[in-house]
Amino acid sequence: MQRREALKSLAILTGGAVLIPSCNFEKEDILAAYSNLQITATQQTLLAEIANTIIPAGQLKGAANLSVQDFILVMVNDCLDKNQQQQFVKGLQEFNAFSKKISGSNFSKLESAEREKVVTQGLSIGSDADENQKIIQEFLSITKRFTIQGFMMSEYIMTEVKPYSLIPGKYNGEVLISSISNMKING
């Protein structure tokens, strides 16, 4: 009986040894949730860092805390045409090279002030720039637009920061104007 178990274990071990060389451990898996985009988990993390640079955490939660990067990818996947999707993916792929050119390091290794500098310079690229810089500028403008939209439409903002109330709301006829205060979340 032990000989059968030993042969069975040997067969499984030999089969595993045959399969391991054919496995490719170098290539990063592409996220399947975004059918039109070829996005990896590393690129999704980079996008979260860019979004968190645009809306950092402070008194309110930051963009990365609210998973705005998922909203950005869904919007790019579902709402933009093929050409814009390709430019977005190409800009995301080339963003670390742009960061190295501007600051000398990958974006994820930079401090927050240096990250802001890289994103600001990327957004302020002029019309006389070369093709790669225009792709970076287009990528960052799409990312900024969808970051702000996703942040402002998040459940956290809609329920905790600026709770929605149906119009006309409750009536309170005796309120001093000096006692009314609006939360300023836009700066």
Query: Over 50: is that where the pLDDT of 125 sits?
Result: yes
In a domain, 117, yes or no: yes
1 in any annotated domain: no
Mean pLDDT of the chain: 85
- Number of structural domains (the chain) is 1
Asked whether the predicted pLDDT for residue 117 surpasses 70, the reply is yes
Residue 19 placed within a domain: no
Terminal-to-terminal C-alpha distance of the chain: 76
Average pLDDT estimate for 107-123: 94
Q: 126 lies in a domain?
A: yes
Q: Is residue 63 part of a domain?
A: yes
Report yes or no on 137 lying in a domain.
yes
The residue to which tokens 């742009």 are assigned: 98
Flag whether 4 is in a domain: no
Q: Which domain holds residue 72?
A: 24-164
Q: Using alpha carbons, list the distances in angstroms from residue 33 to 37, 88, 142, 154, 169.
A: 9, 17, 20, 20, 40
Residue 182 lies in a domain: no
Strand partners, 30: 40
Residue 187's pLDDT band (boundaries 50, 70, 90)?
Answer: very low
Distance CA 109, CA 100 (A): 10
